[in-house]
Structure 1
């Protein structure tokens, strides 16, 4: 049996970096002892020696995502299978599963971390969870945290035919949903679907009091536009299926790493250097992980970590998640990144009604399309062209297209016929639908 974890730090248990470091040290020995039970780390320790303290931890090689895939399915298991509560795989692995698994005790830690919101989850809330439930951790994480806080959960998913956008906005409106958890792009789709249903975002959803967002990079301008559309605070979250929540925002809009629950490092792949702060790839060692200890796991997410003080008083490192925003395409003599280009798109006046856009970077030309109503099309195209030329000094072609071009109207309004499979049909029915769920 694994050891019982009787106490995990909570915000306020420390007030200085030294006190935080002592909390980490107090837990590290138990974590390293747990890691020895994992077949993967037993092999690794056979070449490096069993780590005993922070210096030994720092001498270990980084654990990579590919190593997690190579250890599929249970090569990192450090508890008897009977103690597992859930099994997960992360998204975007192109056919190579990245496994993750958790005990009930692990889930206590996961839920506590996710619930660290400056706009808190309460028993009075109705909480729409609009992220995947299948295999990934995202939907289950919010669900568990909300139930822990006593909220009413609406399990919306976003990979299910049973929950099209028309149903999402109906649920938001009719159930007086007060909190939501989704990717940022979802919120823009809700706004368009609400308008298609005859409702105005914000004004006709008075119960809504915060939007919890994560799962994709979010530029400052798009974040501001989302907040304006719905007239509520936007609260960002950062984490992964392999680790759960790693960082959350304080009331001053800064993202803080949960360094009382994990040790964080910054890896610089160009030099191989490891630092406490700076710009590089985030390396994480979760401190309260039973089922699948991870030592110096390189998420390979590009981040900027700083140790600056924050008025919130949490005494935690701050992080800016660059993610895919740090990756760009060359056009002429400039590198085009999604974060910067998205920021320009959402710098356009809100009155133009631009919510959806796409771009293609060619060697000598940047092509951009924006959905925009006829009345604002010329002005939006001219202004965005000038913004791009000023920011990048590259040839660009901005085209305004009619609403419904990039996001078809049926996506926002359709109600899918989700049925149970059947095999017997009448003479005037379509038996080509036999066994189908839709």
Structure 2
């Protein structure tokens, strides 16, 4: 028999509690049902039953932690907790840090994902035109933003990402011609569009007057990088969203500039990977237990992201814990015996005026290249990296176009439909696009 709710479930709203005690009651009330749903999957069934009774949030520590290795080992449907006929969509991660992992959602799951995503301070509405510039395909990022935009009544422009059809130059035209008000993208995209706009003779800070904000995700984002994006685009808000393909949005930024965990929809823990001890606040690896996920419940799922959680309140008044995403192991390298993260580096790089594009490579010393026309701040950056990280760096200033070639910014759309009949002058080797 189907276990899926085909209508939208009753989900807690931001006004359903006023303090940490109220939030804990929401979690406690929902946890037994969430665990019961999880036991319908092959992976969770014995794992939860063998741990003994888990009735409260405090009992969760009895259960073992799971991670991406478990998702890969149970590919594709080992975590499925509903009938296959109730699965609305199937997705896979990008596979950038290993083999792809599966993720699937019922219609009710999507309602939860969309509702969480739409909570951020950008406050989408019918008057907005939302440009979605993250991948669709098998990832969830583009789909959740698209559905959230429609849920809030916005017009959606599905621009996708990594597409030869929608180039950076075309995005600039769409932003301007369609009076786009909000864009959802990777942080790097905001720099690429700015450079593409400049290549087209436009000023990002002036010539896009309807653009009122960017919502960014998918990459490490330091405060200095976030500030640089806002500066380039005329001081508009740049709001961060944090999540994953397996979970959808886990946190969104409020008007006070802090990321709030949607802790009424999942239970967050901070795990010390050395001791195995977990807590509700402090620094460590983020572990979550979903409360409303039907198709693929996650119980004590370790995202391997290093975070700092604070439950002491926020100036915005939202009664949800805040999180600072400090990075993940895959976004770090060892240089001279010291571990350095991308976030650490970009905080220093974007402290320099005028920088948009940079890259670094680890070895016996750190090689850093930054694109700049004008003054050479290499010695300043070398000293900063040494003093802040203890890593020896060699910084090279390279001319614009070295890291991001000009043709990347000005390229026009490329698209060829499959053909089998050609004219006498057609290049039939190039035109047959079966691949």
- Give the TM-score range, shorter chain: over 0.9
Alignment partner, residue 132 of structure 1: 135
Counterpart in the other structure of 1:302: 306
Partner of residue 157, structure 1: 160
- Unpaired segments ≥5 residues, structure 1: none
SS in 1 for 2:240: strand
Asked whether the equivalents of residues 305 and 317 of structure 1 are also in contact (C-alpha less than 8 Å), the reply is yes
Q: What is the distance in 2 between the residues matched to 1:145 and 1:33?
A: 29
Change in Cα spacing, 1:95 to 1:368, as seen in structure 2 (3 Å) is: closer
* TM-superposed deviation, 1:360: 2.1
1:176-221 deviation digits (Å, cap 9, x = unpaired): 1000111111100110001011111020000000100111111111
Which of the residues 376, 387, 404 maps onto 2:401? 404
How big is the shift at 1:423? 2.1
The offset of 1:130, in angstroms, is 0.4
Is the 2:367–2:393 contact (alpha carbons within 8 Å) kept by the matching residues of 1?
yes
Whether 2:221 is the aligned partner of 1:218: answer yes
1:425 shift after superposition: 2.2
Please name the residue that 2:368 is paired with.
368
SS in 2 for 1:123: coil
1:253 counterpart residue number: 257
**What does residue 111 of structure 2 align with?**
108
Of 189, 193, 196, the residue aligned with 1:193 is: 196
Paired residue for 2:316, among 312, 316, 328?
312
- The number of equivalent residue pairs is 431
1:54 to 47, 57, 60: 57
The residue aligned with 2:275 is 271
Deviation string, structure 1 residues 304-342 (Cα, Å, up to 9, x no partner): 112122121111111111123896444447543321221
Q: How does 1:167-178 map to 2 (within 5 A)?
A: 167-178=170-181
1:357-384 deviation digits (Å, cap 9, x = unpaired): 1122332x332211111xx143x33433
Contact residue 377 and residue 400 of structure 1 kept, 8 A: no
Give CA deviations for 1:102-135 in whole Å, capped at 9, x if unaligned: 1111111110000002120011000000000011
Shift, 1:3, TM fit: 5.4
Q: 1:236 to 1:394 in 2, by over 3 A?
A: closer
- Check conservation: 2:289, 2:300, Cα contact below 8 A: yes
**SS of residue paired to 1:322:** strand
Query: What TM-score comes out, normalization by structure 2 length?
Result: 0.94
Deviation at 1:56, TM superposition (A): 4.3
In the TM superposition, residue 96 of structure 1 has moved relative to its aligned partner by 2.3
Please report how far the alpha carbon of residue 51 of structure 1 lies from its aligned counterpart in structure 2 after TM superposition. 4.0
Q: Map Cα deviations across residues 68-120 of structure 1 (whole Å, 9 max, x no partner).
A: 11111111111111111111111225662311111111111110000002120
- Measure the CA separation in 2 of the matches of 1:25 and 1:95: 35
Aligned to 1:391: 388
TM-score by length of 1: 0.93
